[in-house]
Structure 1
Amino acid sequence: FGIKKICAHYLVRRRDEKGHAKGRLFNLCYDAHERKVNLRKRFEPPQKQDGEGPPVNLDLNDAKERIEAALQQEIITWLPERQARAGLQISLVGLHAQ
């Protein structure tokens, strides 16, 4: 693969105590070289590949597991109270590779 990053965009929705719908978008990018996931504060569209750099042996299962773990940690940071996290609706709304 010539993939350097995998970016996943999740919409997390919940109902507050008054029953109003609330939500937040999480933009997470897995860096194949560093095997780290970074949270992006805003959506950044895919950039054109330059083809430079050494090839990366991309482990898709590792990328998926790390992205999901980072998402769970970001949700806990956003909603520290366990009761507030009950009934969350998590949707993968976008996925792209760079």
Structure 2
Amino acid sequence: MTYDQFVASLEQPTPPAQVSEVVAALWHDANGDWTAAHEIAQSREGTRDYDLLHAYLHRVEGDTWNANYWYRRAGATMPDKTLKEEWEALVKRWL
């Protein structure tokens, strides 16, 4: 699936079946269901991609302290980009 196809899927009632769980979480986030996305992030804590997703979601929430905690757990730092840019980068990374 391409990035453009994924973005087009945001109009569908559910995430595409062929995407990974972390990409499905970003689909939920883009559709305003932060809770569903967060539940996915929590489902495999200690896994780098899930921890990075968790960090991004807490950044979305505005909880920068918690976001920084999860970025550190993922071996990353909070990016110097907008949330939209980070969402796009994560989708492209995990597709």
Decide: shared fold, TM above 0.5: no
Q: Which structure's residues are more often strand, by fraction?
A: 1
| TM-score after normalising by structure 1 | 0.23
Higher RCO, 1 vs 2 (CA within 8 Å, ≥6 residues apart): 1
TM-score normalised according to structure 2 size: 0.24
- Between structures 1 and 2, the one with greater helix share: 2
Larger Rg: 1
